[in-house]
Structure 1
Amino acid sequence: MSSFLLAIISQRLINPNVFHTFVIVSRQEVTALLNLIHEINEEKDSVVVVEGKRDSYALKCIGFSCKILEFHRFGGLTKFSDSVSGHKNIILLFDSDRKGRYLTRRVIEQLERRAKINLYYKKRLNQITGGKIRTIEEISQYKDALFGVII
């Protein structure tokens, strides 16, 4: 498979004053990301947990159809832990910033004995994007490439 690059212009969700960014994406990156989305959507008895509504919206924009929970809607770690402990597999997709790493540690500490915490997809997402995605909401930059809009 030949390697070509796509230039994507995408709106960033984090800034209400919309500005454009360029993201260079390879065909292999797009294919791997589509496969990752499909794998997560096929996970049975699983729930994806993100930090907030922008993260949830970004995942839905690129094709996530699985159950997505927003951590900040629970009003604290204890309420969150009590609410999600019934799920067999919890897929954490917190941001790679300081706050996201802190939340990941705290959630693992709270739930490691009550549920399976899955960090595989977070690591895989980082590998696929080459570290270009630091926050989950930035994944919306890939929307145009995933849905075939090439400029």
Structure 2
Amino acid sequence: MEFSEKEIEEVKKFVKQLNSEKYSVIIVEGKRDSAALRKLGLSGKIIEFHSFNGLVKFADSVAKYKNIILLLDGDRKGRYLTKRIIGLLEHRTKIDLSFKKKLISITKGKIRFIEQLICYEPLQFKI
């Protein structure tokens, strides 16, 4: 994949913005997603959805957080999980989808899976 300097800078800024969300938890689908974010420098709390046994147990566990940033994949399964999680949590905590929308905008839809962000890791120090 080809990335412009602007796109690389925007991804760096995106990670900085995520890191500034001190009182939020970031929800991803699995281990590769959280590993990709960590490689890019994310230092905040990440919870992997697939480490729970089902939606209800997941929702009950994360409802204690004041702000939840959903960064689920853009495929059919990710969209389904996003809808279900919103349905289970919207009256219990604040759900933030702005980072997901921002990521789609930055990458112009090239990144459908959060784990694909690992592609930016070797480039982030070249500029």
- Which bin holds the TM-score, normalised by the shorter protein? over 0.9
Report if aligned partners of 2:22, 2:44 keep a CA contact under 8 Å in 1. no
TM-score of the superposed pair, with normalisation by structure 2 = 0.97
Unmatched runs of 5 consecutive residues or more in structure 2: none
Larger radius of gyration: 1
Amino acid at match of 1:127: S
Q: Deviations 1:48-100 (Å, cap 9, x if unpaired)?
A: 00001111111111111110000010111111111110111100000000000
1:45 CA drift (Å): 1.2
Q: How does 1:46-125 map to 2 (within 5 A)?
A: 46-125=24-103
1:44 CA drift (Å): 2.3
Amino acid at match of 2:103: L
Moved over 6 A (4+): none
RMSD over aligned Cα atoms = 1.0
* Number of equivalences: 127
1:129 to 93, 99, 107: 107
Q: Deviations 1:103-134 (Å, cap 9, x if unpaired)?
A: 00000000000011100000000100011101
TM-score of the superposed pair, with normalisation by structure 1 = 0.82
Match of 1:28?
A: 6
